[in-house]
Amino acid sequence: MFFGSCYYDKEENLYFASQFDCDTANVRYSVQVSTIINQNCMPCHNAATASGGVSLETYDQLKTMVLNGRVGAAIRHDAGVSPMPKLSPKLSECKIKTIAIWERAGCPNN
């Protein structure tokens, strides 16, 4: 007797497509970016704990860290930086793309 099966390890194939609707047409700090940061970074990078000496609590603090490349490198898990969020799964490609688009726009406070 022979059994065969296929295995798909792409998120899009494993979960409902609606989870992967990534609307990056109008990325705004006040809507998408602050939500991503609050949900994924603030538990460790708030003013009280400032893990690794990094606080991302204010717009100006976040903008500085994004524009110097540290946030992007950490969330992409680039070599030579501590991958973030620490001890949690890597952010979705949509969230990483959202932060990158906001960065390319100059990190507007919108």
More confident residue, 16 or 42: 42
Which of 5-9, 61-65, 91-95 has the least mean pLDDT? 5-9
Chain segment 33-91, per-residue pLDDT in tens:
999 999 999 999 999 999 999 999 999 999 999 999 999 999 999 999 999 999 999 99
- pLDDT at residue number 11: 52
Q: Percent helix, strand, coil in the chain (nearest 5)?
A: 45, 0, 55
Identify the pLDDT of residue 92: 97
- Burial tier of 58 (Cβ tally within 10 Å: 0-12, 13-18, 19+): exposed
Question: What is the pLDDT at residue 17?
Answer: 45
Identity of residue 110: N
Residue linked to tokens 């949900």 = 39
Q: What is the pTM of this model?
A: 0.80
Angstrom distance (rounded) from CA 57 to CA 42: 7
- The domain ranges of the chain are 24-104
- Between 23-27, 33-37, 90-94, the lowest mean confidence (pLDDT) is in 23-27
